[in-house]
Structure 1
């Protein structure tokens, strides 16, 4: 299964048929005055750059540093996430699942690519791919190893299937050695993949696994 960074190796490749079709449709709709390209660019930029996984990282950082918020987040995820101002399309009904030494959670959407846009931005290419969507359920430990995540044999791996009604979000374990960090510093350690369950948070400078 290819990771995101592999895509950069082929940035000079010709556009795919899908990309060409999308461009043709966009050109036609623009010509007819039905869409404004600048508006589309702004929407894409919002989810790719300005929103991205940063909102989710702030949710995680607050849960790590505020026990009361963590409890609210696990009890009523949608409401707790909305407390921080993150809600809307693709994020109306959220369920946060917490990683522990006993359980590692992983999120997939086997039917399509349901994904919590308000907290994680646009889904990565691999999340939408057929190999990930099928193998995450059949061989989750194998998939995790491909992402560089080795889960202990005595740790249960739970796979959560997002759908049109519910979108799952992983609350990763707080890395050791972060006791003196504030929320902003903690948020810098939270990776997108750690909130999907296919990765782990970054370690603080000088930290050990």
Structure 2
């Protein structure tokens, strides 16, 4: 699989735009005009809440609409675009579906290719060399470090993202979610479950 990362940079190099942003942030911080902690909070929100919401809507629709699920499996790029989620670093997508027999895990071994249009900002650990190397060598061990221990019979399949193709994991629909509408289902879909380092959340039990 080719890795042509024209629009990416390795972690120890900043592209010109990132360098300008870093310099501007430093100047504004030194002048007391911005609070680095506030910036971190905003980034964390876009990493874990706002950004992944698009992907969560895609997964929820696939869970509730078998026709859409088949379309997503056959042509993820077009199926995702039909919901309005397109843009740079998300042009060419492939959806991989978890099953009881196979669990999918996404990594980018050479840098940090990531589907921004559906998952928002990539988490720091996704770009870190230990994850990029160990996810391929010892995926089951990596999953256990995330708190996910799979049955021994479940195969772990690793997908290596490139500048040409990025992946979205469709986690298995959790038990007890029958009857929920798409909005409620989307609330169960986490960023990590769409990368493969986690599972979808279980629905809250309604008091009887």
Q: Normalising to structure 2: TM-score of the pair? A: 0.78
2:75 pairs with 1:76: yes
Deviations 1:81-117 (A, max 9, x none): 0010001100000000000000000000000000000
Partner of residue 23 from structure 2, selected from 18, 25, 29: 25
SS in 2 for 1:96: strand
Partner of 1:181: 180
**Residue 188 to residue 22, structure 1, CA distance change in 2 (3 Å):** same
Deviations 1:106-156 (A, max 9, x none): 000000000000000000000000000000000000000000111111111
**SS of match in other structure, 1:106:** strand
**TM-score normalised over the length of structure 1:** 0.78
Provide the rounded CA distance (Å) in 1 between the counterparts of 2:131 and 2:44. 26
Structure 2: state its 5+ residue gaps: 1-13, 29-33
Equivalent residues in 2 for 1:6-85, closer than 5 Å: 25-26=23-24, 47-48=46-47, 51-85=50-84
Q: Tell me which residue corresponds to 1:124.
A: 123
Offset of residue 50 of structure 1: 7.4
What is the DSSP-based 3-state SS (H/G/I as helix, E as strand, rest coil) of the residue aligned with 2:157? strand
> Post-superposition shift, 1:180?
1.0
Q: Provide structure 1 residue ranges, at least 5 long, that are not aligned to the other structure.
A: 1-17, 31-36
State how far apart, in whole Å, the 2-side matches of 1:138 and 1:174 are. Answer: 28
Find the residue that maps to 2:77 and give its secondary structure: helix
The alignment yields a C-alpha RMSD, in angstroms, of 2.7
